[in-house]
Structure 1
Amino acid sequence: MKKLIILFSLVLGIALSSKAQNKPAEFKFDKETYNFGKIPSNKPATVEFTFTNIGDTPLIISNVETTCGCTVPEYTKTPIKKGETGVIKVTYNPTGAALPFSKSISLTSNAKTPTKVLYIKGETVSAAN
């Protein structure tokens, strides 16, 4: 009986230590803010935010939200394994007014930090400029 308890304890200890060594999924972005500078008020502008999963478990993005309908996100919908990369592509459609803009893009995932926010900014100028 003693041998059985020792064997069970050893197996449980190994299982728990190997699980503890796994780092949860986590983003590492090439950039988290992008400045478009001056863009024509009649032309959409697009940027790609590339990231790598630096955790041990697959990274799954469950939702991407923007602050308004003028900002449209596209994102990698398949799980991103350890060391693999994914992309958040954001297109800003100017509303026609020549004004500065600043928008946020919120990502929800299974990462260690479950909510991540990216930012775009710039200034729309009249199409004649």
Structure 2
Amino acid sequence: MRIIKISMLALALGLMSFSAIAPVKALVSETNIATFDASTIVWKAETIDVGQIPQGTPKAIVYEFKNTGKTAVVITNVQGSCGCTATDYTKEPILPGKTAKVTATYNAANKGGFTKTVTVTTSAETAPKILTLKGTVI
């Protein structure tokens, strides 16, 4: 009987020690998340609706952003969601206070509504930014 009581006490103390550690880990991860959420890139628009565009005429959509941080930002990759969207972007480092552009050119080959995305990866953010373009080909 005494062994059972000692075992129960040891189990209870063991469980209490785990619960005391958990809030400390949560606090550390919340602090890290808050640090990463502070972006140094401010986009003029993340979604652009081009309205109606004629079939067979490629449409260039320009996304602009400003580097509001204290260090230069480099665009490391830009990828369209399909082969119908070509991309171009500022290749040189964007200094603090300066602006840059990402251009997506949509090939308006098929009639109807469309929604496409452009994924932009930079040195300033841990997660890529998803930009959206939409409209209707007539």
The interval holding the TM-score normalised by the smaller chain is 0.7 to 0.9
Q: CA deviation at 1:25?
A: 6.8
Structure with a larger share of its residues in strand: 1
Query: Residue 84 of structure 1 corresponds to which residue in structure 2?
Result: 98
* Paired residues of 1:100 and 1:124 also in contact (CA < 8 A): yes
Distance in 2 (CA, whole Å) between partners of 1:94 and 1:40 is: 7
Moved more, 106-115 or 52-61: 106-115
Out of 27, 48, 51, the residue aligned to residue 65 of structure 2 is: 51
CA offsets per residue over residues 16-71 of structure 1, 9 Å max, x none? Answer: xxxxxxxx872111111111111111111112111110111110111000111111
Structure 1 or 2: more helix by fraction: 2
Q: How does 1:1-129 map to 2 (within 5 A)?
A: 26-95=40-109, 97-125=110-138
The whole-number CA distance in structure 2 between the counterparts of 1:67 and 1:115 is 13
Structure-2-length-normalised TM-score: 0.69
Contact 1:25 1:58 in 2 (8 A): no
> Cα RMSD between the aligned structures?
1.5
| Ranges in structure 1 where 5+ consecutive residues have no aligned partner | 1-23
Which runs of at least 4 in structure 1 moved beyond 6 Å after TM superposition?
Answer: none
**Larger RCO of the pair (alpha carbons < 8 Å, separation 6+):** 1
Q: Which has the larger radius of gyration?
A: 2
Give me the whole-angstrom Cα distance separating, in 2, the residues matched to 1:88 and 1:94. Answer: 19
